[in-house]
């Protein structure tokens, strides 16, 4: 799967979740920052099609292994730094 295809799938998921009435978007069980980035881009693309009052908050939950890194090797600090520019509901 290409990065662009991954973004498209996240965008479609965001659309379906929104139509289903979710309260916020949660990117969870993310194993590397590349997947988080694709998810955020997909959610952003969907939300850009909405009026401001219909946009929902976004949260991220990363999977951290016992050694203190994500599966792809990024540290918790690297994940936090890569997302500090985002207005997230929370980062877990």
Closest C-alpha to 23, from 50, 53, 58, 49: 58
Residue 48 domain-assigned? yes
Q: CA dihedral in degrees (25, 31, 33, 36; nearest 10)?
A: -20
pLDDT digit string (tens) for the chain, length 92 residues: 999 999 999 999 999 999 999 999 999 977 788 899 999 999 999 999 999 999 999 999 988 888 888 888 888 898 899 999 999 999 98
Question: Residue 74 has what pLDDT?
Answer: 87
Domain extent at residue 21 = 3-83
Q: With contact defined as beta carbons under 8 Å apart, do 58 and 25 qualify?
A: yes
Tally of domains within the chain? 1
Q: Phi/psi zone of residue 46: left (φ > 0), alpha (ψ -120 to 50 degrees), beta?
A: alpha
Question: Residue 33 has what pLDDT?
Answer: 87
Residue 88 domain-assigned? no
Residue 70 domain-assigned? yes
Helix axes 76-83, 33-47, angle to 10 degrees: 20
């Amino acid at each position: 799967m290409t990065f662009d295809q991954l973004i498209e799938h996240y965008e479609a998921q965001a659309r379906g979740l929104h139509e289903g009435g979710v309260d916020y978007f949660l990117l969870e069980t993310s194993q590397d920052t590349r997947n988080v980035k694709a998810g955020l881009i997909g959610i952003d693309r969907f939300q850009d099609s909405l009026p401001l009052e219909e946009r929902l908050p976004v949260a991220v939950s990363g999977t951290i292994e016992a050694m203190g890194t994500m599966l792809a090797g990024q540290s918790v600090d690297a994940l936090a730094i890569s997302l500090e520019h985002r207005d997230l509901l929370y980062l877990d």
